[in-house]
Amino acid sequence: MNARWTVEPGRPATLEAPDLSGVEEAVAWLESTHTELLAGLREHGAVYLRGLPVHSVEAFAQVRDLLVPRRTPYREKATPRSDFGGGVYSSTDLPAAQPIRPHNENSYTLTFPGLLLFGCLSAPEQGGATPVTDCRSVLRNLPPHLVERMRTHGWLLKRAYSEHLSVDWQSAFGTDFPAEAERYCQENLISWTWREDGGLSTRQLRPGIVRHPETGEEVWFNHLAFWNEWSLEEEVREALVEELGHDGLPFNTAFGNGLPLTREELGTVNAAYEAATVRRPWEPGDLMLVDNVLSAHGRDPFFGDRRILVAMGDPLALADCRPTVEPAADAPCPIPEAVTSHD
């Protein structure tokens, strides 16, 4: 059974399956093309697999066991997901109208998944693609001053856990016991503060540029733009800042020296992401294998029933990705209030 590759502008590299009668034949075909599939993944950062008979959680898990045999738990949760058991989740349960910006899964943790596998059980009537972004291209296309700032200082993530505005700390850390959440933070270089309302606020300094442990290629790897306050809709941002202050926002980011990202710089980063992004509409049975270091992923808004599964695996230690900045529990100075431009 031969592999048929399609590489088109604006589309992820696609491997089309022959006619297969069931998931057992699909697994056999994937085994026969596994070497070629991994080579394509390293070249393109993501590979779309079209025409597979994968129409249930159980079938998806069988394919996952071949393509992503080593599982990675979902750490420091940030968005709601349905857990189908066996390391299979919904891709996200956020509202259909809400787009999700490009991001590398768990870029803020000390161990993160090296591979992601997405699978389509039900395709929406409109929209709903899972775009993928080449992080090598993002790094190449960003202005040198932003790259140098990230290379030298890394980035700072500040979170205020809340059951109303984001996820609560119990869901994020998988425990109801404050001492266990504190232990996780201490072991994973996260500073923490308990608020008077019983909520938890955290800070963590992370590198934003790393190298792929196998190819050695340097990539832009972070949530700097994704969780920056300028990424919020303007009316929402103004209301939250007025009510909570900058320190009370569910998420905020800055460069590791405390220098904030301006609105204009956010636009520059987003433009670099968009220029490096490709997408393909989902069809039932489709899979997409994503190298989580080489590629970021997101979600387009959609209309209709969309059921996309995800599994995470091939865990990587940040230390093995030659970060340009050592992770730490906090930055040298706090995040200043947002500004629209630098002097």
Q: Residue 32 belongs to a domain with what CATH number?
A: 3.60.130.10
pLDDT digits (tens, 9 = 90+) for 255-293: 999 889 999 999 999 999 999 999 999 999 999 999 999
**Alpha carbon distance, N-terminus to C-terminus of the chain:** 61
- Spatial neighbors of 186 by CB under 8 A, at least 6 apart, are none
Whether 82 is in a domain gets the answer yes
Whether 77 is in a domain gets the answer yes
Whether 300 is in a domain gets the answer yes
Q: Which of 248, 211, 205, 201 is nearest to 224 (CA)?
A: 205
pLDDT band at 94 (very low <50, low <70, confident <90, very high): confident
pLDDT band at 332 (very low <50, low <70, confident <90, very high): low
Whether 336 is in a domain gets the answer no
Whether 84 is in a domain gets the answer yes
pLDDT digits (tens, 9 = 90+) for 148-183: 999 999 999 999 998 777 788 998 999 999 999 999
Total tally of structural domains belonging to the chain? 1
**pLDDT at 128 (0 to 100):** 95
Assess whether pLDDT exceeds 60 at residue 303.
yes
Whether 52 is in a domain gets the answer yes
The answer to whether 118 touches 288, Cβ cutoff 8 Å, is: yes
Q: What range does the domain containing 19 cover?
A: 4-94+113-132+279-315
Three-state DSSP class for 34? helix
Whether 90 is in a domain gets the answer yes
Three-state DSSP class for 11? coil
The average pLDDT across 292-305 equals 96
Q: How far apart are CA 11 and CA 124, in angstroms?
A: 18
pLDDT band at 342 (very low <50, low <70, confident <90, very high): very low
**pLDDT at 333 (0 to 100):** 57
pLDDT band at 86 (very low <50, low <70, confident <90, very high): confident
Tell me what the pLDDT averaged over the chain comes to. Answer: 91
Q: Who has greater pLDDT, 79 or 126?
A: 126
What is the crossing angle of helices 23-32 and 34-44, to 10°?
A: 70
- Alpha-helical regions (H) of the chain: 23-32, 34-44, 57-67, 135-141, 144-153, 169-173, 178-187, 234-244, 263-275
Assess whether pLDDT exceeds 80 at residue 338.
no
